[in-house]
Amino acid sequence: MRCYYCRSKKVVKYGKRKTKYKLKQLYGCNNCKRKFVEEKDYERLKGGKKINLIIKDLHSRGLSLRDISHHLEKCHNINLHHSNVLRRTRR
């Protein structure tokens, strides 16, 4: 387990955060002092804000989630499951 921000290994468990669906493990970094959730959750942050904008744009133009997911893979080399695409249209 490494810090999401600085890739430091000085990471400690920081308790849990309750979401609608499940409990998520929270971690704190002793190097940069930031907090983040477990690794698998980063899936939905792939590509950052730029990709979020593209997703929202395509979505507002009526493309299906699968089409958007396909477009991201072809044009931006980003693999996002369409359920993650859906989540990002709501951000």
Residues of this chain that interact with Zn ion (CB under 5 A) are 3, 5-6, 8, 29, 31-32
Quote the CA–CA distance of 53 and 59 in Å, as a whole number: 10
Which residues are 44's β-sheet partners? none
Q: Which is nearer to Zn ion, 33 or 81 (CB)?
A: 33
Q: How far is the CB of 38 from Zn ion (least distance, A)?
A: 15
Q: How far is the CB of 28 from Zn ion (least distance, A)?
A: 9
Q: How far is the CB of 34 from Zn ion (least distance, A)?
A: 6
Pairing of strands 23-29, 11-18: antiparallel
Q: Which is nearer to Zn ion, 38 or 67 (CB)?
A: 38
User: In which order are the strands placed within the sheet that holds 11-18?
Assistant: 11-18, 23-29, 35-37
